[in-house]
Amino acid sequence: MKLAENKATLSFSQGGAPIELPIYKGSIGPDVIDIRKLYAQTGMFTYDPGFLSTAATQSAITYIDGDKGELLYRGYPIEQLATNCDFLETCHLLLYGELPNAAQKAEFTSRVTNHTMVNEQMQFFLRGFRRDAHPMAVLTGLVGGLSAFYHDSTDINNPKHREIAAIRLIAKMPTLVAMAYKYSVGQPFVYPKNHLSYAGNFLHMMFATPCEEYKVSPVLERAMDRIFTLHADHEQNASTSTVRLCGSSGTNPFAAIAAGVACLWGPAHGGANEACLNMLEEIQAMGGISKVGEFMEKVKDKNSGVKLMGFGHRVYKNYDPRAKLMQETCNEVLTELGLENDPLFKLAKALEKIALEDEYFVSRKLYPNVDFYSGIVQRAIGIPVPLFTAIFALARTVGWIAQLNEMISDPEYKIGRPRQLFSGAVKRDVQPIGTR
């Protein structure tokens, strides 16, 4: 970042000397006012619950222009990556800053492929869960459990250790998600197959059984790969900020990623894809498109607590570019599977049309986000609804680890420790219980 010519001056209506605060510029996007010395100079904190106006870090990985609906991974538009690259090329880009050439891609793919197996002991973690446990509860446990196998071999201050941890996590997440699925349906775990692509291997581990050959459909393989790319990273969202804050204590990367999985589960975040599909099924059960108007009235009634899941975003005040690409993928997959008349897809498109013309949504700049269509395409692929967020976590792992490694490799990084505005009881003495 570079110092801007202009500065910010903070003056106080009750008098006292004004404070000058430096302003820094990035390569694109909003400038920042550096308030690191504010408390020392004024004895005051800034106040920004939810971090609506706070840059918690500088980063060179992902840039979002919410007004334009633009998303860049290391400068490349998501539209170009989703069309011209595959997920492992995108992983290489996010981790190392550049798209791989053919030789680098082959080497990176081979490294990931050769780390896809998990320790045989991992299956015993699963046995502790009920078969109907939510996959995100299982995945949070499994990823945290991974740290037990690597805790002693991960010195996060060693760049080589950080890199192998990144490869292990990217490689093993599909295996763990597929194991969580197989466990839930009472089928045997399927081991990775090294001759398959990253997405193909995931589909094989999910849907193959020992009883017959499972042929990966190239259309589903491409759709799955694109779903991974669209979810790979997204600047300083809640789960990425969780991973950064957790990792800032020096804990091992597996524990930090487990914290990210736990945060992503929430319906306001990655859990929205599952909540959105459930919402569509609920409207369908009520009567489908004819009931959309009634549902929308509930959404607009503040007291109903009902939200249009898959809509709205803290940063995008325009169409989420990922939602557009996800809708395209939906079209491709449904057409390929002869499901172009899928009632939920038609319902979702009708909902979107109504919402985009409704003053409530227009005035609040609420547009479809990545979660609005992702559930429909995953359901068409055969993925059960409760597994949607686990697949989001699988894909986001590369973003989490790239952001964590970026933080740890910054010699200036410190443990994150926000302060507060205290509004509780002032100092008072404990009274004997007989007089309380």
Residue placing its CB nearer to ligand SDX in the complex, 175 or 369: 369
Report the nearest approach of ligand SDX to the CB of residue 361 (Å).
Answer: 8
Residue placing its CB nearer to ligand SDX in the complex, 183 or 361: 361
Report the nearest approach of ligand SDX to the CB of residue 70 (Å).
Answer: 13
Residue placing its CB nearer to ligand SDX in the complex, 166 or 275: 275
**Contact positions vs ligand SDX (CB under 6 A):** 234, 237, 268-270, 272, 299, 307-315, 364, 366, 369-371
Tell me how far the alpha carbon of residue 259 is from its chain's centroid: 12
Put the strands of the sheet holding 19-25 in their side by side order: 2-10, 19-25, 32-33
Q: What's the Rg (C-alpha) of the chain?
A: 24
Residue placing its CB nearer to ligand SDX in the complex, 3 or 268: 268
Report the nearest approach of ligand SDX to the CB of residue 365 (Å).
Answer: 8
Question: What is the crossing angle of helices 238-247 and 253-264, to 10°?
Answer: 150
Please name which of 147, 157, 186, 165 lies closest in space to residue 111, comparing C-alpha atoms. 165
By annotation, the residues acting in catalysis are 313, 371
Report the nearest approach of ligand SDX to the CB of residue 76 (Å).
Answer: 17
Question: What is the crossing angle of helices 272-286 and 343-357, to 10°?
Answer: 100
Distances (CA, A) of 213 to 100, 109, 205, 224, 383: 33, 24, 12, 20, 19
Report the nearest approach of ligand SDX to the CB of residue 303 (Å).
Answer: 12
Residue placing its CB nearer to ligand SDX in the complex, 182 or 313: 313
CA distance linking residue 262 with residue 239, whole number of Å: 8
Residue placing its CB nearer to ligand SDX in the complex, 33 or 315: 315
Looking at the DSSP assignment, which residues form a beta bridge with residue 187?
Answer: none
Minimal CB distance residue for ligand SDX: 312
Report the nearest approach of ligand SDX to the CB of residue 366 (Å).
Answer: 5
Instruction: Enter the tokens of residue 166.
Output: 């990144």
Residue placing its CB nearer to ligand SDX in the complex, 235 or 252: 235
Answer yes or no: are the C-beta atoms of 324 and 266 closer than 8 Å. Answer: no
Distances (CA, A) of 368 to 79, 284, 326, 419: 16, 19, 10, 34
CA distance linking residue 396 with residue 364, whole number of Å: 28
Report the nearest approach of ligand SDX to the CB of residue 136 (Å).
Answer: 14
